[in-house]
Chain A
Amino acid sequence: MTKTQMLLGAAGLAMIAGGAMADTSGKRIALSNNYAGNSWRQAMLQTFEEVGAQAVEAGVVGAADAYTTSENQATEQAAQLQNMILQGYDAIILNAASPTALNGAVEEACNAGVTVVSFDGIVTAPCAWRIAVDFKAMGKEQVEYLATRLPEGGNLLEIRGLAGVFVDDEIHAGIEEGVAENSQFEIVGSVHGDWAQDVAQKAVAGVLPSLPDVVGVVTQGGDGYGAAQAFKAAGRDTPLIVLGNRQDEMQWWADQRDANGYETLSLSIAPGVASLAFWVAQQILDGAEVPKDLTVPFLKVTQDTLDEALETTPEGSVANTVYSLDDAKAVISGAM
């Protein structure tokens, strides 16, 4: 039997087995991740590994492998993408170090017939799919929430993320928009907390002595607990701090609620978005029609859902949602 005959035979079998859809059981999906050094990324990797392993076991895909670069550099990740093309992956899901610097490598992948789905840290290359969170809305919603709780307004402290990163600019723009619409609020101080509790704590402690009374703190996630610690150390009343779904933040919230009825809101992007990207990639390989730009809702924890969220979040981790194939289909049809 010649090679051509074998291929024809295999194609015939696949057509019988797969029905109208293409079969993805032999397809291999890789995760290209640029950073692993915080609890959010660890939860993301874990979710991907679990969902991937289940999918491989169920025969939905052939392989689901995760790769992380060590130095969070775009050049390093571009080389990683090129390796994945050479290794013959059918799809790459990508949390990118830069929205633009990886476009060259992404184009190469597309030209080699590889499906590229970017999420969280998205890329702008037109051939790739994007699963993004509306970070701007996330910033705006914080101010709108504060407006419902503090109708008389007051001074706000803003804790920003890592300077120069797309996500930081977007959330900040959303907060500015919210403050412009709710003129009873004024941002009297702004510091960079780098999405880390200890950095936020240090920055807030440094700026607090020069600030007037602060009624609310708008944040970007991973910095609320540090801010609370700094307010406590300075002997000030705890303002209304919007949190970012970290377990230590939510635990602190629950403790405060039990002690003095503290109320707030917590919102962030769920690390499980990696599982959504995985299923979207699977759907594209399956031949489904998928729009290039998809939006994933952010995960909100409210006073009512706090206990539930705390119960399901491992100690020291981040509140999470694992997306199923049906969730992915719903997101796709919602964007059509």
Chain B
Amino acid sequence: MKLIQKPWLWSWVAAAAAFALTVALTEGRGAGELAYAALSFGAFAAIVGLGQMLVITLGPGNVDLSIPATMTLSGTLALKAMGSDPGTAWMGLGVAILVGLGTGLANFALIYLLRLPPIIATLAASLLYQSLAIWSNRGLRIKPPAGLADFATGRTMGIPNVALVGLGLSLLIWVLLERSVWGRWLLASGQNLRAARLAGVPVEAVRAATYVAVTVFAAIAGYLLASFSGGAALNMGAEYLLMSIAVVVIGGTSIAGGMSNVPGVWGASLFMFLVVSMLNSYGAGAGVRMVLTGLIIIGIVIAASTRRVAR
């Protein structure tokens, strides 16, 4: 496949264009600063986006709407468990991952046992998780331990640590998808569930693993975001509901399922941050900004999908 036919190309082109336009405004000043900020904030969107990508790959109707609530619950419980005490960062991460496992299993139980459509099951379950987060801490912000906060806001060799974590997770997903049997099973299930089942793919196990993976990723993102921004807030996950779906679609992953795209998720995550920065820098009002963001997203999706049809 030629470079121009790669579905992830368009999100990267768009991200680069938004970056160039913003930097043009300042005549090159602040380019490094902007790239650093984009990598930091893009990492959170990329981590939740990777999880959402796996679920969307499962085929039509598969989506996880419990991502914001899972992020809030994991951030809240992890920071409460750590209680700002030094040396508890790994324990906190453990709590976050347990929260992710728990919500993922609960989501899949609703989908599998009660045969609820995933949209309904995850949305309904998310109300429960959000209530648990409210009930457990009544919205009080607990500071992360100093060492963890320094790690989350720090950098290694000029790259934000959260971006390195995100890259590590992306690499893991990429290897699983491209090089493992599980990845083949996931793609086969997404392309045709019935055919995959008849071919001997354990489709329910694949679905279960996918629904658990997405919430574990969301939980890790929630844990990192809470550490990054100085504490968990009850509304901290809110913007990641649409964001997680947008980065998957812009990144060139097929919304019909059966085709994943890891690099595209990153390009789209950087783009989503850069486009807002660009429009803010040019002084666009909220209305103009939302309209333009919407139009640009539609444009990229059209560009990416016509490539695929022409192939």
**What residues of chain A have their CB less than 8 Å away from a CB belonging to chain B?**
36-39, 41-43, 46, 70, 160, 163-164, 189-192, 194, 196-199, 201-203, 205-211, 225-226, 229, 233-235, 246-248, 314-317
**Which B residue's beta carbon lies closest to that of A71?**
B127
Q: Which of A189, A206, A248 contacts B34 (CB 8 A)?
A: A206
Cross-chain contact A248 with B141 (CB below 8 angstroms)? yes
A278 to B23, CA, bound (A): 53
Interface size of B by Cβ–Cβ distance < 8 Å? 44
Interface residues of B in 227-282 (CB under 8 A from A): 228-231, 233-236, 238-239, 273-274, 276-277, 280-281
Cross-chain contact B140 with A210 (CB below 8 angstroms)? no
Cross-chain contact A39 with B29 (CB below 8 angstroms)? no
Q: Which of A42, A205, A209, A210 contacts B234 (CB 8 A)?
A: A42
A196-B236, A206-B41, A315-B142 known; A37 vs B290 contact (CB < 8 Å): no
B242 to chain A minimum Cβ distance, whole angstroms, is: 13
Cross-chain contact B30 with A39 (CB below 8 angstroms)? no
Cross-chain contact A70 with B22 (CB below 8 angstroms)? no
Q: Which residues of B contact A164 (CB under 8 A)?
A: 286
**Which A residue's beta carbon lies closest to that of B134?**
A36
A36 to B153, CA, bound (A): 29
Cross-chain contact B141 with A247 (CB below 8 angstroms)? yes
Q: Which residues of A contact B37 (CB under 8 A)?
A: 205-206, 208-209, 233-234
Judged by a CB distance under 8 angstroms, whether B294 is at the interface is no
**What residues of chain B have their CB less than 8 Å away from a CB belonging to chain A?**
22-23, 25-26, 29-31, 33-34, 37-38, 40-41, 127, 130, 134, 138-143, 153, 225, 228-231, 233-236, 238-239, 273-274, 276-277, 280-281, 283, 286-287, 290
Cross-chain contact B33 with A234 (CB below 8 angstroms)? yes
The 4 closest A-B pairs by CB, nearest first: A209-B30, A206-B277, A316-B140, A316-B141
- Counting chain A CB atoms within 10 Å of each CB, the highest count among B23, B274, B277 belongs to B277
Q: Which residues of A contact B287 (CB under 8 A)?
A: 163
A19 to chain B minimum Cβ distance, whole angstroms, is: 40
Cross-chain contact A196 with B233 (CB below 8 angstroms)? yes
Q: Which residues of B contact A189 (CB under 8 A)?
A: 280-281, 283
- Counting chain A CB atoms within 10 Å of each CB, the highest count among B23, B25, B41, B230 belongs to B230
